[in-house]
Amino acid sequence: MGDETGQPCHYSAMSPTALAQPDGAAAITVLLVRVAGHSLALRQSEVVEILPLPRLAAVPDAPPILAGAFSLAGQAVFVLPLAGLLGLSGPAEGTALYHHLLLLPAKGSDARFALCVDRVTDRLAAEPPQPVPPGESFNGCVEAEIRHGDALVPLLSVQRLLTFYEREKLLAFAARASSRDALFQPAEPG
């Protein structure tokens, strides 16, 4: 994986937030990912950290879209497969051992979520995105397209991946699951 100058990118704990942003107001930094045989892009600013896929715990009574959960610094993180959110049915690339999670920012005390992708393949400074007509946008999830070589790659909007209703239902479920989990934590000495 290299940057726009061809130099290798060095990830600090695979954290894209540790990388410098490109110069120029028009350029945006994106992460290129592979999902079910498709190349897609997400704004680096919408991802807190890139993580290897840990062993996921099954979550009782979870909605079918949740792949599972894991603990990060003592907080539950719920995993959503990006292929499922987009309705992509192609086979995953590689083994799950090498899949990546894109940790999304938490808003206040909201639950943490991560998107599961087959692979993060690159980080690059992209030219200004080209808007996409609403009818050609994966149910509104694609905000624009970016040029990568000779190809146009869909630029996803993390905010558009879930409808307001879906987001509220997932947050309510995560709150219930987290409070239930807290019942089984050891009491603080004191």
Asked whether residue 7 is assigned to any structural domain, the reply reads: no
Tokens 């290897």 belong to which residue?
Answer: 52
Look at the chain and report how many structural domains it folds into: 1
Tokens 């009574």 belong to which residue?
Answer: 61
Render pLDDT for 139-176 as a digit per residue (tens, 0 to 9).
789 999 999 999 999 999 998 888 877 888 888 888 88
Q: Is the dihedral of CA 11, 17, 23, 28 positive or negative?
A: positive
Of 49, 17, 19, 26, the C-alpha closest to 120 is 49
For residue 102, give both structure tokens. Answer: 């894109």
User: Rounded mean pLDDT of 5-20?
Assistant: 38
Asked whether residue 10 is assigned to any structural domain, the reply reads: no
- The domain in which residue 126 lies consists of 16-182
State pTM to two decimals: 0.78
Of 140, 40, 159, the C-alpha closest to 90 is 40
For residue 58, give both structure tokens. Answer: 């099954």
Interatomic CA distance for residues 24 and 26, integer angstroms: 6
Asked whether residue 190 is assigned to any structural domain, the reply reads: no
Asked whether residue 1 is assigned to any structural domain, the reply reads: no
Render pLDDT for 104-141 as a digit per residue (tens, 0 to 9).
998 766 778 999 999 999 999 998 898 888 777 777 89
Interatomic CA distance for residues 105 and 102, integer angstroms: 10
Asked whether residue 3 is assigned to any structural domain, the reply reads: no
Q: What is the CATH number of the domain that holds 90?
A: 2.40.50.180
The answer to whether residues 116 and 101 touch, using CB atoms and an 8 Å cutoff, is yes
Asked whether residue 5 is assigned to any structural domain, the reply reads: no
Asked whether residue 6 is assigned to any structural domain, the reply reads: no
